[in-house]
Amino acid sequence: MSRIALILPAILLVAPVLAAQQTPAPQKTPSLAAIPADAAKQANPVKATPESIARARKWWGLDCAMCHGASGDGKGEVAKDMKLQVADFTNSDTLKDRTDGELFYIIKNGHQDMPPEGPRVKTEENWDLVNYVRSLAKKKADTEQKP
């Protein structure tokens, strides 16, 4: 009986510690400050051609528009439902201080509430998406200039 009296308190003290060690910490998506310098400096090897934009438009419709909105204004249905603050890519000021390498990194690795595309999107398709996101502000500027 005395062994149980000694072992029981030890188990009660150690069990929560062991359980905490076995529970993995939730993964957080990287902050903008966590983007490695070499990734931020990476140049976009894919020209922003109509073909590149068209390829990315398909991915945008499947994966991005639900939060970022069809036009890129940040007012997608999921963003509204979840009350998320999503950047307005139709505003040219939104990405003026971001490099293509940073955008590529964010698409691949995620940011805040945005999940990462990871390996689902091939490298060239990721660069196409960077071109597409950049084109959203240009489209708005073009439509505002027309009478």
- Rounded Cα gap, residues 84 and 67, in angstroms: 8
- Rounded Cα gap, residues 139 and 105, in angstroms: 24
- Rounded Cα gap, residues 25 and 123, in angstroms: 29
Res 4: pLDDT: 53
Tens digits of per-residue pLDDT, 108-138?
999 988 999 999 999 999 999 999 999 999 8
Domains (range + CATH), the chain: 30-145 (1.10.760.10)
Residue type, 135: S
Query: Would you give the DSSP letter of residue 41?
Result: T
Residue of 105, 100, 110, 107 lying closest to 131 (CA atoms): 100
Tens digits of per-residue pLDDT, 56-86?
999 999 999 999 999 999 999 999 999 999 9
